[in-house]
Amino acid sequence: MRLATPGFSRFEQARQFNVTYAGGEANVSSALAYWGHETAHVTRFPDSPIGRAAAQYLATHGVDTSHIVYGGPRMAVYFLETGAALRGSQIVYDRANSSLATIDPTEINWDDILKDAKWFHWAGITPALSQGAADALLNGIKTARKYGLTVSGDIFYRANLWKYGKKPSEILPELTAGTDIVIANRENILEIFGIEGNDFVESSVNLQKAFPQVSKVVDTKRTSLSASHNLLRALMWNGKELLETEDIDINPIIDRVGGGDAFIAGLIHGLISFNDDQKALEFGVAASALKHTIEGDALISTVAEVEAIRQGETSGRIKR
């Protein structure tokens, strides 16, 4: 559950919060659903009105919620204070002992869920929550491999969430070993895997040597002129060459949270829909840029809207 202060007010000023529901993998699923893909979100929510509200929220975005299991004590929460100009945004997590953090891996029947699927996506926050969540995810990746799915993993993580005695370097390598497309930067690759590189390409090449399953390494580069004005581009090492996009100028930013998930959704859509890594990368960064203009974590858009941005239409003219 995302609880955001109204407008640009600070936590100390807030007397009410705007409620939406979010999550890395859920945000990817919802964006892809808007673009016509059949998507499902797998998680564990509390068996309560709040848990059902979260599932209903995902369903309104076109996401299949039939694989969600129910149980556990509470919904995970994060609080958002949106920054502006020279004041950055702040996020405070409250995820301890949440329903997902207390999951028993046997609650998820991955064979039933993935036997007819094509793609499996995971995010690095999930295994940060608990050993149970990490084990459930690992089971999902192994099952995805068994059925020949493409697996993508956003290994960016939040260090302050790892509270159960394990470090990212102890958990993420085994998950990455079963992943085809990794979203990571040079610093992540060094910190998590101890793999060095003088630049993104060298780090990516060395990552692929350590994890032969990885076929592509992808990253975004943000130039922050202020909290309200960013430049965004993306790059990919596809095992043969470095691909890169032009910067997209985003000003003003309405809500940047979920921008990385929108990028991944756009990249997945592009890789599925186009036989062109460069075009897929451009579609991803265009999707992320568009998300910065939309309040909430979810990217609500059409393919045509993203494609227009990819082709350079950023004037914001009224559509009549």
pLDDT tens digits for 3-18?
A: 999 999 999 999 999 9
H or E, element range at 268: helix 259-273
Residue 78 lies in a domain: no
Q: What is the pLDDT of residue 157?
A: 82
pLDDT tens digits for 142-197?
A: 999 999 999 999 998 888 889 999 999 999 999 999 999 999 999 999 999 999 99
Question: What is the C-alpha separation between 284 and 299, in angstroms, rounded?
Answer: 12
Residue among 240, 264, 287, 277 at smallest CA distance from 125? 264
H or E, element range at 53: helix 49-60
Residue 3 lies in a domain: no
pLDDT tens digits for 43-77?
A: 999 999 999 999 999 999 999 999 999 999 999 99
Question: What is the C-alpha separation between 189 and 204, in angstroms, rounded?
Answer: 8
Could you tell me the pLDDT band of residue 249, with boundaries at 50, 70 and 90?
very high
Query: What is the average pLDDT across 136-147?
Result: 98
Q: What is the DSSP letter of 285?
A: H
Residue among 184, 209, 205, 204 at smallest CA distance from 124? 184
The pLDDT of residue 318 is above 90 = no
pLDDT tens digits for 71-97?
A: 999 999 999 999 999 999 999 999 989
Residue 201 lies in a domain: yes
Buried b (16+ CB within 10 A) or exposed e, 18-35: eebbbbbbbbbbbbbbbb
Residue 135 lies in a domain: yes
Question: What is the C-alpha separation between 59 and 41, in angstroms, rounded?
Answer: 10
Least confident among 1-5, 37-41, 312-316:
312-316
Average of per-residue pLDDT values in the chain? 96
Q: What is the pLDDT of residue 42?
A: 98
Q: How long, in residues, is the chain?
A: 320
Residue 115 lies in a domain: yes
pTM passes above 0.85:
yes
57 with 39: CB under 8 angstroms? no
> Which 3 state secondary structure label does DSSP give 150?
strand
Query: What is the average pLDDT across 251-270?
Result: 96
Residue 57 lies in a domain: no
The pLDDT of residue 319 is above 80 = no
Query: What is the average pLDDT across 263-292?
Result: 98
What share of the chain in percent tops pLDDT 90? 95
> Which pair of structure tokens corresponds to residue 262?
């929108």
Query: What is the average pLDDT across 193-218?
Result: 98
- Using the structure block, give the residue that is written with the tokens 């084990």: 135
The pLDDT of residue 320 is above 70 = no
Residue among 244, 302, 310, 312 at smallest CA distance from 277? 244
Residue 304 lies in a domain: yes
269 with 283: CB under 8 angstroms? yes
Residue-range definition of the domain harbouring residue 173? 25-40+109-310
CATH number of the domain enclosing 119: 3.40.1190.20
Residue 63 lies in a domain: no
Q: What is the pLDDT of residue 160?
A: 83
Instruction: Please give the tally of structural domains in the chain.
Output: 1
